[in-house]
Amino acid sequence: MVGSQLVSNVPFVLLAGEWIPRLDAPRLLWLATALASTLAGNLTVLGSVANVIVLELAGSRARIGFWRFFAIGSVVTATTLAAGLAILLAERALGLVR
């Protein structure tokens, strides 16, 4: 999630593609990377181009600044990421993901 915020999703996933295959449980790590990079867009206004487009189109009708977005986005991102990772780990424990 942090990598996606720093360099954006696509460049981060391309970078991750270099080292994930060499780690233990690469399938699980690919799934976790897909989950985190997808949910990372909820963290900040700049986390997703869609966020920027929606806020730009809303204009003065919905002034939402970076910090207000971050305050809500951090809760949404942390909650959904924790739930998603818990599900992935439960699936791994059940032998559904290797």
- Please list the rounded mean pLDDT of every run of 10 residues in the chain (98 residues): 81 90 93 92 88 89 90 95 96 91
Cβ neighbors of 83 (< 8 A, separation 6 or more) are none
* Domain ranges within the chain, ordered by starting residue: 2-93
Instruction: Read off the tokens for 16.
Output: 């991750």
DSSP state of 43: T
Q: Residue 47, exposed/middle/buried by CB under 10 A (0-12, 13-18, 19+)?
A: buried
pLDDT at 5: 82
Distance separating alpha carbons of residues 96 and 91, to the nearest angstrom: 5
pLDDT at 88: 96
